Structure 1
Amino acid sequence: MKCTKTIEAEVASQFRRSHHQSLTRFDLLSQLYRIGDDWVAIGELASKLMASGGNITGLLDRMVADDLIERRANPRDRRSFQVRTTKKGRDTFKEMTNDHAQWIEDALNEFSQKDKEQLIKLLVRVRRAFEPNTLI
């Protein structure tokens, strides 16, 4: 857990320094990027982020103000809203993703190729061990 928290804190710090964005914003943009140009209900997005719609409302408000996402009333249910990324949001996410990949590569430079391959194999095994269908 300490290792995960250390890495997460460093990534969050890098995002703030380089892009003036939080790790939470990156996660939200990542979910929207996977969806593409389609509109998604805030409730559905919240479930992908493991958060409640109410918990992300303020975040969405700020991201709309920063032109990273756009929001509209759901045409099928005016009581709910939908969001999607803007061009600026997609471009920001791509820049953050590229930088993130470079940071990881730089951080792992001290490892040999063999060690990197072994690390990846072990991390895949750890992830599989904790996937919901494998937990008792």
Structure 2
Amino acid sequence: MDTSFHYLLAASAALFQRKVMAGLSDSGLTAGQPKVLDYLGLHDGSMQKDIAAGCQIDPATLTGLLNRMEEKGLIQRRVQPEDRRSFHVYLTEQGRDRQRLVRRTLEQMGDEVLAGFSREERMRLEDGLYRLCQAMTNMEVLQ
């Protein structure tokens, strides 16, 4: 196995995503939808641009993803009286049920993957990944 930084980062993300989707295989969710449901679980009523930024999804890709989620009855888009130009996205009751399933699955998969790590190692890994995301976000702004 290649032990370079870029390979390990990409492989870890892909392997975790595959594990999560396998855990959600009976849910009817497709790639990208769990991330959006998880985000809306914390930020229900968000504008599409905020969901795109929060989930690191291209806005055009998110539009199609939200269309499919709306067709499945997982979300509902609403215009707010104070801002009729922007749609806000809300979980439906079915969407909330799926969001809870996604959250449980993410936590379970995280616990399984990190089972061999001490509490201190987990905290250092999470801190390092957070700092890495911050650094890459700042790089995007600078470019």
TM-score range, shorter chain: 0.7 to 0.9
Structure 1 3/57 Cα, relative in aligned 2: closer, same or farther at 3 Å?
same
- Per-residue CA deviation, residues 15-54 of structure 1 (Å, 9 max, x unaligned), is 4332332452122112211124xx3322332333344543
Give the alignment of 1:1-136 within 5 angstroms.
1-17=6-22, 18=24, 19-36=27-44, 39-109=45-115, 111=116, 113=118, 116-128=119-131, 131-132=134-135
Deviations 1:83-117 (A, max 9, x none): 111121121111122122222222233x263xx52
CA distance in 2, matches of 1:77, 1:134: 29
Q: 1:118 to 1:27 in 2, by over 3 A?
A: same
SS across alignment from 1:84: strand
Amino acid at match of 2:114: L
CA contact (8 A) 2:79 2:88 kept: yes
Secondary structure at the aligned position of 2:77 is classed as strand
**Contact preservation (8 Å) 2:37, 2:102:** no
User: Letter of the aligned partner of 1:57 in structure 2?
Assistant: T
- Contact 1:41–1:74 (CA under 8 A) maintained in structure 2: no
What TM-score comes out, normalization by structure 1 length? 0.73
List runs of 5+ in structure 1 lacking aligned partners: none
Is there any run of 5+ residues in structure 2 with no aligned partner, and where? 1-5
Name the counterpart of 2:3: none
Secondary structure, counterpart of 2:32 in structure 1: helix
